[in-house]
Amino acid sequence: MGERVKERRRAKVSTTVDAELLHMVDRFVAEHADTNRGMVFDEALRLWAARERERAIEAQHTAPQSPQEREEYAAWRQIRRSASARLFRAE
């Protein structure tokens, strides 16, 4: 395999953003020569995506369990208890 790093494919988009937010981005870019608008928007989208993943995980864990899920959890609890009892049994 070569040492060449494969560049990510990037999509060009056009959107309307709040003028004050864009001004903040432009000030940041002006103060940080190693960055550009695209990098700032990429970071903002990564943060948004991470927050959405966290929300999905939270929703999954707080949703009511189906009868099948309750049975599975009960079976796993019994398996853990049995394994713990064997592991910590006094000799």
- pTM of the full structure: 0.64
- Mean pLDDT, rounded, for 54-58: 96
Sequence spans of domains, the chain: 19-87
CA distance linking residue 44 with residue 21, whole number of Å? 12
| Average pLDDT over the chain, rounded to an integer | 90
Q: What is the pLDDT of residue 1?
A: 45
- Tell me the H-state helices in the chain: 19-31, 37-62, 67-87
Confidence of residue 23 (pLDDT cuts 50, 70, 90): very high
Confidence of residue 9 (pLDDT cuts 50, 70, 90): confident
Confidence of residue 10 (pLDDT cuts 50, 70, 90): confident
Confidence of residue 90 (pLDDT cuts 50, 70, 90): low
% of the chain with per-residue pLDDT over 70: 90
